[in-house]
Structure 1
């Protein structure tokens, strides 16, 4: 009965989003902390302006992290409401996203990935607008530009560029080379502006040093984090189940919905590629991965025919997220 109410089109789920977010972040509010950055990580060009304002203020950082998570959830709901790739009207994606992120306990504070994810979602919104559109040069430029701006907050967002190239090839109508060029021009333009600013401010060498640190620094937050590893395996199992369920509905879905989910699948794949093979990428990438995962799992819950199993799996997911709030104390204590 719980899931049946939450997956409806009622605004109750949207009302619960901030409450559930605060509930899962309550320990961080009680004992606020700043993220354990590697050298150069908070100096990402656009994020550094924010970091200087909140450095040394862990409670403010946690509050901003909560606000960004809520904004991401509502933006995810907006994308689904606009393009209806989950064909039944449901407010579940927003709530499910904050539940999933609720399990990423080490990320319950401010991090540049939240700003990167925000711009990535707006880029997805613009990307989906090119479905069956000829000569979508304006939209493809916007997609690239938004992704580039997001990368100036969180550099590892660059790893998702191939997924957006695939998305343009998949969604566009009679797509030619110009669409890909405008995407790349849009993506590179924020970096051109950033380089020009660094030159004018006589900070080019420092900026290149920070860029080097954000590419080659080896980070191992995740490798020593057993609870997060277990949680990631759980999410992968849910995602596989959701993917199998989606392929079972493949013939009954509209062409647009099929293609939108394929784009999400590629975003999921490339986020895992970055997570696995790029040394500097660590647990923060899971916030990006959670976006396609949320849509896949939401689709699973919405269309699962067995009420018993859908309710059981949803409750199981919530219980696992709740257990994550205490598992870190157990393993670290």
Structure 2
């Protein structure tokens, strides 16, 4: 399977669709009776006057989520190849994204973090363009607005603001106008939200939007240890990918090294930002999939022992399907 996706072959799009279906076989056979879906955060619900909850039946929810993941996988693959992040063209980032997006049943359904992955891809594309020496004030303003839009959809996305500033540190010489333009873009979104609150006589509640930022970081997270056995192959692949990247790090172009530094920062930010949601779900961690999948694809592209990497990927697939059918 891995060898098939190592090459950038248009027929791999068909194989990718087959893998997508196979990894969702449990929900196709035994769909849930009810799936709760919220398109935006409660503080932004007034911006959507229509009642969309009844449209997203369990079947619609699963199908839309699958289509979105398929599109995101192709977009990620195109972006990785466009910037030559892996050194040569391949279809492995798309395969890894489709695979990782099926790790947990919470990843299979339509959720705000899944929608925000479109924004993360858009942001990464813009951030990688910051390497261009021309003025970037327009781009940074757009990035601030993207963070603002993402925050309306899923509040922990607000911490992607840090990723933009880190991106400026990595790719650009210091220019205070570019840093301020990020802030102005973000404020623009919430200025219009404040106006909307004012027009609806709710401006006194606007400050409550920011209260979750004061939550303390949890001491522990309740998890099902049996289900998380499926993470073992993922951790092994990530560790092997990091080890292999470290060996080739200083042999790569400067832009590639900076790109992986940015992806690492995004992974850390998205992984830790869950704390602002008191009732957070596992679906939050699909935000980590894009940087993680790029690293996993790096390992599989340069791995040499076919029997080992094919077996490792097969174990990952078996684990995903097994734990989808067995909820302990």
TM-score (norm 2): 0.87
Partner of 2:167: 167
Partner of 1:273: 272
Deviations 1:245-265 (Å, cap 9, x if unpaired)?
111111221111111111001
After superposition, the Cα gap between the structure-2 partners of 1:132 and 1:175, relative to the gap in structure 1 and judged at 3 Å, is: farther
Deviations 1:181-205 (Å, cap 9, x if unpaired)?
1112212322222222222233445
Contact 2:213 2:276 in 1 (8 A): no
Contact 1:44 1:155 in 2 (8 A): no
Shift of 1:221: 12
Structure 1 residues 188-197 or 206-215, which shifts more? 206-215
Contact 2:156 2:274 in 1 (8 A): no
Name the CA distance, whole Å, in 2 between partners of 1:236 and 1:48: 40
User: Does 1:6 pair with 2:5?
Assistant: yes
After superposition, the Cα gap between the structure-2 partners of 1:217 and 1:43, relative to the gap in structure 1 and judged at 3 Å, is: farther
Partner of 2:121: 121
Counterparts of 1:1-333 in structure 2, within 5 Å, are 2-29=1-28, 30-35=30-35, 43=42, 45=44, 49=48, 52-55=51-54, 57-172=57-172, 174-204=173-203, 212=211, 223-275=222-274, 279-328=278-327, 331=328
After superposition, the Cα gap between the structure-2 partners of 1:106 and 1:242, relative to the gap in structure 1 and judged at 3 Å, is: same
Name the CA distance, whole Å, in 2 between partners of 1:304 and 1:44: 47
Which runs of 5 or more structure 1 residues have no equivalent in the other structure? none
After superposition, the Cα gap between the structure-2 partners of 1:322 and 1:101, relative to the gap in structure 1 and judged at 3 Å, is: same
Which runs of 5 or more structure 2 residues have no equivalent in the other structure? none
Structure 1 residues 138-147 or 119-128, which shifts more? 138-147
Deviations 1:143-164 (Å, cap 9, x if unpaired)?
2211221221111111232122
Structure 1 residues 254-263 or 126-135, which shifts more? 126-135
Name the CA distance, whole Å, in 2 between partners of 1:170 and 1:8: 31
Contact 1:35 1:107 in 2 (8 A): no
Aligned residues: 326
Shift of 1:212: 4.8
Does 1 or 2 have the higher relative contact order (CA < 8 Å, sep 6+)?
2
CA RMSD of aligned residues (A): 3.1
SS of aligned partner of 1:305: coil
